Structure formats: structure tokens, C-alpha cells
């Protein structure tokens, strides 16, 4: 049986250049979402689009071609399935038919720690970053993806930052579809005669996000009477707005507490916990810390608020045989490499 492949069917195939799209409800919703994003973040500018060949990215590409000054499509071939090169080439072909200025396929090797999902994501974003030529990259994350992200963040229990979801623009990554349901992208593909590729990994139950999508969210919708995905996305938006304000306050305190590469314990001790932990997080990241967890932050905070002569706290970001360690010394927090 042939693998489903992206394609444009029927006599209405768009001519090269700006796409001429039918004014169906799904197409209009998608175009408005992309148009609003461009007006806020990229007025009159070209963009790149991350195109997988799935419904979300196909619909996004078509809408972007209709709304942006120019669109360069980047297709990442992870090489994880038989026929992936053909799927990637087909997606690039559709991008050209829709009117993209260019369409490039980047093949990557998926390897490294953290499981298949994490390794594939790192490889994908690295390839997109290398191929974007200085342009912002639009990705097809929808409201449904945002809801799944919030639930995953709740499970981690790492505080507000982990449940505020994805931003509309986290330079260079743009997400115009965070208020659009996944069903709308599929409807737009049907309206345009596009046949999305269905990635088998998107139905593989060994992945936590897949089970959230296929089991947990439908159950929550049933038990709570609907509207759960939209409510989770709204919650993320509210928390992100609050987080921006708290981060601004923390930045001012960081400037006050910082003396070179160290922080004043006295100044941090008088701050509210939510602000203090933000200051510590920013300071650790600036000093080279990686993959910070809530446990890291609270252990470093204890050097300020629960000091009883304890030793330093190792935070991620060291090298083989060398740790990056935060310590309290003479009333200041210091950060240095130690064996």
C-alpha cells in the first residue's frame, strides 16, 4: 500500500507566486491568524516555514504564502522511517507549488540523550536554525499543542514557567496558530485539495504527548464538559503575561544584587521568593548553567534563606570531570567550575 504523501489535487492547483486561496471558513481563519502574527512581529518581511508535510505545517505554509512578502520552506528529514526522503521531497514539491520562494530539505541524524522525541527535536531545531538565513521560522503549533504542553508542564511540577506554554514569538521561532484548533488545519487542507502526510510517530502510544492527545485530553473534555484545551491555552497566556511582569522586576533586582559575577545575599534575602528564584535562575543561566530544574533553584536559594554552612550546589553545565558549582562565600553567591 502506498504511503500517504502530501500533494495538490484537482484543476485548482495554484500557479507559481502568491497563492490564490478559496475563502472558506478554515482558510480565512488561518490567513487571519498568520496576518495578525506578521503585523505584530514581521510586517512586510519574508519568513521561513518549518514544513513537515503534516496538516498543520501544510496549512500554515499555504496561509503564509498568501500573507507574507516571501516564504522559504525548510523540510527536515529525520531519517527515522523508511521512505522519509520521499516524503520530505514531496513536501518540498508542494511548497513550491503553493508559491514558496524556495524549498529546502535538510537531512539530520537523530542521536543523543533524552529519548527519541527529545533527540529528534534538538536535531530538527538545529537544522531549522542553520537553514533559516536570518529569517524568523514559523512553526505549526496549534491551540491543541499548547494545551498538551501545559499538561506536560503540570506533570513536571516546576512552577509557573513550566505551565505558561509556548510564546507566539520566541526569536527566531514564530507560532501564529496558538489560537487555532488542529481541526482547522485539516479542514483547510481538504479545502485546498492537499493530502497531508500522517507521521506514524503521532499515533505511537509510547510517547507521552501522544497519549495526552489521544487519551487524556479527550477524557478531560468528556468529564469536564468540553472546552478544556481552550481553557488550558488561556491559562498559559495569562501566566505568560504575569511572567513577563515578574521577569522585569527580577531583572531590576538582578542589576541591584549583582557585583561582577557574584550576587549579594543580603539583597536577595529581602526579596519575595518568586522574584528571588527568577534572579537566581537568570544568574545561573548567564554563568553557563544548563537544564535547570526546580530542585536546582531551591537548593541554591537555600544558600540564601536557609544557610547553615552547607557546601556548594552543583548545577548542570559542567564538563566531564568538572562541575559548575554555586557557593555562598563572604555574604555573596559565587559560581565557578570545580573538580
Q: DSSP labels for 10-60?
A: STTPPPSSS------HHHHHHHHHHHHHHHHH-TT--EEEE--SSHHHHHH
Which residue numbers belong to the known binding site for ATP? 52-57
Q: What is the pLDDT of residue 18?
A: 57
Contact 72, 45 (CB under 8 A): no
Q: What is the pLDDT of residue 160?
A: 83
Contact 199, 275 (CB under 8 A): no
Which residue numbers belong to the known binding site? 52-57
Reported pTM: 0.84
Q: What is the pLDDT of residue 7?
A: 45
Instruction: Look up residue 193 and give its three cell numbers.
Output: 485539495
Q: What is the pLDDT of residue 205?
A: 79
Distance CA 265, CA 269 (A): 6
Q: What is the pLDDT of residue 286?
A: 95
**Low pLDDT (below 70) residues in the chain:** 1-19, 114, 158
Distance CA 170, CA 49 (A): 15
List of domains in the chain: 25-233 (3.40.50.620), 260-338 (no CATH)
Give, to the nearest 10 degrees, the angle between helix 228-257 and helix 143-156.
60
Cβ neighbourhood burial of 298 (10 Å; 0-12, 13-18, 19+)? middle
Contact 28, 180 (CB under 8 A): no
Q: What is the pLDDT of residue 19?
A: 56
Distance CA 67, CA 20 (A): 11
Q: What is the pLDDT of residue 44?
A: 81
Q: How many CA atoms lie within 13 A of 2 on its CB side?
A: 7
Q: Which helix (H) or strand (E) holds 316?
A: strand 313-319
DSSP conformational letter for 8 = B
DSSP conformational letter for 132 = S
Q: What is the pLDDT of residue 255?
A: 97
Q: Which helix (H) or strand (E) holds 322?
A: strand 322-329
Cβ neighbourhood burial of 209 (10 Å; 0-12, 13-18, 19+)? middle
Q: What is the pLDDT of residue 16?
A: 44
Distance CA 202, CA 204 (A): 6
Checking DSSP bridges between strand 258-259 and strand 169-170, what pairing results, if any? unpaired
* φ, ψ for residue 73, nearest 5 deg: -90, 140
Distance CA 136, CA 122 (A): 17
Phi-psi region of 317 (alpha: psi -120 to 50; beta: other; left: phi over 0): left
Q: What is the pLDDT of residue 159?
A: 76
* φ, ψ for residue 80, nearest 5 deg: -90, -10
332-338 sheet: strands from edge to edge = 258-259, 262-264, 332-338, 322-329, 313-319
Q: What is the pLDDT of residue 4?
A: 36
Amino acid at each position: 500500500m502506498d504511503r500517504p504523501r502530501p500533494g495538490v489535487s484537482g484543476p485548482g492547483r495554484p500557479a507559481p507566486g502568491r497563492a490564490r486561496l478559496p475563502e472558506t471558513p478554515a482558510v480565512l481563519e488561518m490567513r487571519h491568524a498568520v496576518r495578525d502574527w506578521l503585523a505584530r512581529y514581521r510586517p512586510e518581511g519574508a519568513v521561513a516555514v518549518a514544513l513537515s508535510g503534516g496538516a498543520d505545517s501544510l496549512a500554515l505554509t499555504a496561509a503564509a504564502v498568501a500573507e507574507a512578502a516571501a516564504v522559504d520552506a525548510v523540510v527536515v528529514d529525520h531519517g527515522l522511517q523508511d521512505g522519509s526522503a520521499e516524503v520530505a521531497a514531496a513536501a518540498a514539491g508542494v511548497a513550491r507549488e503553493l508559491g514558496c520562494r524556495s524549498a529546502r530539505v535538510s537531512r539530520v541524524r537523530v542521536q543523543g540523550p533524552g529519548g527519541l522525541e527529545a533527540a529528534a527535536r534538538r536535531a530538527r531545531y538545529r537544522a531549522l536554525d542553520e537553514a533559516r538565513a536570518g529569517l524568523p521560522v514559523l512553526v505549526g503549533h496549534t491551540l491543541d499543542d499548547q494545551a498538551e504542553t501545559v499538561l506536560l508542564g503540570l506533570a513536571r511540577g516546576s512552577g509557573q514557567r513550566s505551565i505558561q506554554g509556548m510564546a507566539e514569538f520566541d526569536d527566531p521561532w514564530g507560532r501564529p496558530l496558538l489560537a487555532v484548533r488542529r481541526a482547522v488545519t485539516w479542514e483547510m487542507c481538504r479545502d485546498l485539495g492537499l493530502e497531508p502526510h500522517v507521521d506514524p510517530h503521532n499515533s505511537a502510544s509510547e510517547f507521552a504527548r501522544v497519549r495526552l492527545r489521544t487519551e487524556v485530553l479527550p477524557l478531560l473534555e468528556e468529564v469536564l464538559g468540553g472546552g478544556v484545551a481552550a481553557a488550558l491555552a488561556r491559562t498559559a497566556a495569562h501566566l505568560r503575561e504575569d511572567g513577563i511582569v515578574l521577569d522585569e522586576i527580577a531583572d531590576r533586582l538582578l542589576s541591584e544584587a549583582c557585583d561582577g559575577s557574584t550576587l549579594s545575599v543580603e539583597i536577595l534575602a529581602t526579596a519575595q521568593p518568586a522574584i528571588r528564584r527568577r534572579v537566581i535562575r537568570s544568574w545561573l543561566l548567564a554563568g553557563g548553567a544548563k537544564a535547570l530544574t526546580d530542585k536546582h533553584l531551591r537548593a541554591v536559594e537555600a544558600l540564601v534563606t536557609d544557610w547553615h554552612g552547607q557546601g556548594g550546589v552543583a548545577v548542570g553545565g559542567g564538563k566531564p570531570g568538572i562541575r559548575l558549582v554555586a557557593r555562598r562565600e563572604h555574604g555573596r553567591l559565587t559560581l565557578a567550575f570545580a573538580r
